[in-house]
Amino acid sequence: MNIIKIDSVIVSSIKEFVNSEITPSEGINIAWIGQAGFIIKFNQKIFVIDPYLSDFLSKKYKGTIFPHIRLMPIPINPEDFNKISYIFCTHAHSDHMDPETVSTFSKKFIDCKFIIPAAEIEEAIDRGINKRQLLPINADQSINLDTRVDVSAIAAAHETFKINERWEHSFLGFILHIDGINIYHSGDCVPYDGLAEKLRTIGVDIALLPINGRDKYRLDHGISGNFKISEVLDLCEKVNIKHLIVHHFGMFAYNSVSKVDLIKLAKLNSDSLQIIIPEINVVYKIKKS
């Protein structure tokens, strides 16, 4: 495992961070954009994971039991990006593969590539991604993206696995291998047998994990859940993960965690596990030694 140091710096806006030719530090820089979305900047390339940068869901579910009203403003409009190298969508739920966001990116950045579950190729095309921009991937496969960047896919259980007749997983997590640092984004996921062992074999330096949990009420109304906070902490301990950035909170009132829970989580930050509760307009600078 690498010895990692993560510091933070406040920026005036996500737009400034994305489009500036000057990065806040050498190494890898990560910014949270709400829900499960992150922007990673490395070696003048922009990698975007699960961007939900519209009000698509509030329009789709207006007047329903879960109206999907945003609790935070859109931190950057898709039109405001000057460049993107790669976009990752862990699955096809619209807060991860947002039709309004991905279609805009596909039209504006014709050389950008989309890494998506192979099981969701048709859905991605239906949502406005140009077929030639797609890089489909399945669990236990890898793609080389750059001389210093690879991505590996790992199965995710969004309450359950979803596997088609070709044995392709609809729910994935991604492990970005960037300059010798392994960053694991689980996608939407709950613990499952064998997950910790797989991650321990790979070696995870930094985990980006959801904390909004799950319950029967949400599931009965079509809302599949994720890790509970206790399960995230347990996974980090089992896999010997030293750096945790949590997500999937603060976007929708029905599917978040309380401020009290976030305060309690922050107090568990220690030398053995650095816990970062990300904020908008804060860039997290990652260096290895």
Looking at residue 76, its pLDDT comes to 98
Q: Supply the angle between the helices 229-239 and 195-202 in degrees, to the nearest 10.
A: 50
Alpha carbon 115 to chain centroid, angstroms: 12
Separation between Cα atoms, residue 93 and residue 78, nearest integer Å = 18
Examine the pLDDT at 110 and tell me if it is beyond 70. Answer: yes
Torsion of CA 134, 14, 150, 237, to 10 degrees: -120
Helices (H) and strands (E) in the chain, counts: 8, 15
Looking at residue 258, its pLDDT comes to 95
Examine the pLDDT at 127 and tell me if it is beyond 90. Answer: yes
Domains in the chain (CATH in brackets) are: 4-288 (3.60.15.10)
Contact yes or no for 84/48 (Cβ under 8 A): yes
Contacts (Cβ under 8 Å, ≥6 apart) of 264: none
Separation between Cα atoms, residue 268 and residue 137, nearest integer Å = 36
Token pair 């206790």 is found at: 230
pLDDT confidence of 25, banded at 50, 70, 90? low
Residue pLDDT, tens place only, 233-260: 999 999 999 999 999 999 999 999 999 9
Could you tell me the two tokens for 32? 């949270």
Separation between Cα atoms, residue 201 and residue 90, nearest integer Å = 21
- Tell me the residue type at 158: H
Average pLDDT (246-275) is: 96
- If DSSP codes are grouped into helix, strand and coil, which group holds residue 152? strand
Residue pLDDT, tens place only, 53-88: 999 999 999 999 999 999 999 999 999 999 999 999
> What integer best gives the mean pLDDT of the chain?
96
pLDDT confidence of 2, banded at 50, 70, 90? confident
Token pair 């400034």 is found at: 16
Closest alpha carbon to 234 in 196, 264, 208, 261: 196
